Amino acid sequence: MTLSNVTRRGMIGGLAAGVSAAAVISSDAFISGARAQSARKTFILVPGAFSGAWCWRRVSDRLEKQGHKVYSLSLTGLGDRSHLLSKDINLDTHIADIANLVEWEDLTDICLVAWSYAGYPASGALERIGSRVSSIVWVDALKPSDGQSFRDEVPFKAEDGAISIPAPKAVRPDAYQDPKDAAWFLSKATSQPIGTWLQPVKLSGARERVAKKTYIRLPKFPLAALDKAFAECKADKSWTVVENTTSGHPVMINEPDWLTDVLLKSV
């Protein structure tokens, strides 16, 4: 998700092993061995605000061509599930979307990938499915603490009685490398259920107990909450941190080959 940086709403919409505490791994060094990964893996790809499974298409195609199992989600009320938008959708709904997929499909040894806003429902889902997840990758994603809501990190205003935040009508000028991709995003973007941004997340530390954790920061998209998450991961040797300075926030659209390689290295 990426919006114009002219307004606060624009800023809101902009949201989708073993390194030393002070180190940041360069992308070239990090992905150098990725293509050597040959074992079949299971990936769950969770989109950010205003987005659906469609935003992962380029990455999921690449992973599947290499023989991996991929589940790209559209969270309730968004993307191809936008017809389900209602006032009753909250963060628990999106947490259940992720956890129920894992439980009904009997998935194990999962790499859970969260982009942007998805850091909230993915963190919550790990409270239920953490034992089934062997690695996580936070792609410029929020990293909430227990009791925190999206609104706490990215304040916003909404109309009285609104059940959703309207889909963006513009994107940041530096978000997409190809204007056609920007137009594609805007054509697919759907309103965000407001309850998902208001409800605090309940966490007991399951996210931190995942064996392998990677955080990707895309600093071309400025947001204090993402800088904070990146700094926390850099200071924690249980996280691997990777910085991409060439792509805007939607790296899965701008640089799918790069992101695919990083995901394969992260499992």
| pLDDT at res. 159 | 86
| pLDDT at res. 24 | 59
The tokens for 64 are: 């599947």
pLDDT band, residue 125 (cuts 50/70/90): very high
Task: Name the residue range of residue 225's domain.
Answer: 8-266
Mean pLDDT computed over 64-91: 98
| pLDDT tens digits, one per residue of 127-183 | 999 999 999 999 999 999 999 999 999 999 888 899 999 999 999 999 999 999 999
Distance CA 153, CA 53 (A): 24
Q: Which of 22-31, 100-109, 115-124 has the lowest mean pLDDT?
A: 22-31
**Total tally of structural domains belonging to the chain:** 1
pLDDT band, residue 11 (cuts 50/70/90): very low
Q: Looking at the domain assignment, is residue 2 inside a domain?
A: no
| Residue 136: closest CA among 115, 160, 166 | 115
| Residue 116: closest CA among 213, 6, 229 | 229
Q: What is the CATH number of the domain that holds 38?
A: 3.40.50.1820
Distance from the Cα of residue 147 to its chain's centroid: 19
| Residue 227: closest CA among 142, 150, 137 | 142
- Give the mean pLDDT of the chain: 90
